[in-house]
Amino acid sequence: MIKRILLIFVILITLCSSVFADIQGKWFHPKFIRVYIQPDHYKGRLMTQAFREWSKLTKNKLIFQKVTSPKFADIEVEFVDKINPAQSNTDRAIGLTKTSTQSNRKLVHAKIWIAQKTHDDKVLSEDEVYTTMLHEIGHAIGLNHSQDPESVMYYGVNVIQEVSEEDLRLLKELYLW
């Protein structure tokens, strides 16, 4: 019997959980989003790169300004060994974003956690971490999960994900660009 492998990719790890999956907020000053990234961490450079990637893909319609204190931040990023399962609705999450919104879907704060390891102690590759960073920033700027496995907003992480045309179209719709 010939076995045919139908799957073109393997979902490695459940990526993250979005706590407010049904709320799609947006920043009212998208060209001045203040970001605090936990300093002195070797993943900080990669995180900065992920924010720059979103700016580049949106043709600088989203601009992230680094600040030196979480007090002044719109988006805060913290690196953790593992995601606390109590905070997440899946026990295999490797990234997490919690957003706060006011009325009119105005985003007022977002906190992103990026893990180094899965819950069963597998150290994540740089690619997995980078994809997770792009995904969590996607939530922090208002995107929900995508059903498309090739989108960076798909709930799982795999090797073929990138920010898709659809992700950018949804942002355009959300921000009325």
- Residues lying near Zn ion in the complex (CB under 5 A): 16, 18
For residue 95, the SS3 value is strand
Q: What share of the chain is helix, strand, coil (3-state, %, to 5)?
A: 25, 25, 50
Nearer to Zn ion, 16 or 115 (CB): 16
End-to-end C-alpha distance for the chain, whole angstroms: 54
Residue 50 or residue 72: which is nearer to Zn ion going by CB?
Answer: 50
Q: What is the DSSP letter of 26?
A: B
Structure tokens that stand for 69 in this block? 């204190």
Give the residue with the Cβ less far from Zn ion, 18 or 99. 18
103 vs 147, which CB is nearer to Zn ion?
A: 147
Closest contact distance (angstroms) between CB of 18 and Zn ion is 5
Q: Least Å distance between CB 72 and Zn ion?
A: 26
Dist. CA 177–CA 156, nearest whole Å: 28
Closest contact distance (angstroms) between CB of 145 and Zn ion is 5
8 A C-beta contact, residue 152 and residue 161: yes
Nearest residue relative to Zn ion (C-beta): 16
Residue 143 Cβ vs Zn ion, minimum distance, rounded to whole Å: 9
129-142 burial, b at 16+ Cβ within 10 Å, e below that, comes to bbbbbbbbbbbbbb
Shortest Å, Cβ 1 to Zn ion:
38
Q: Name the residue nearer to Zn ion (CB basis): 66 or 159.
A: 159
Question: Degrees (nearest 5) of the Cα angle 168, 67, 57?
Answer: 15
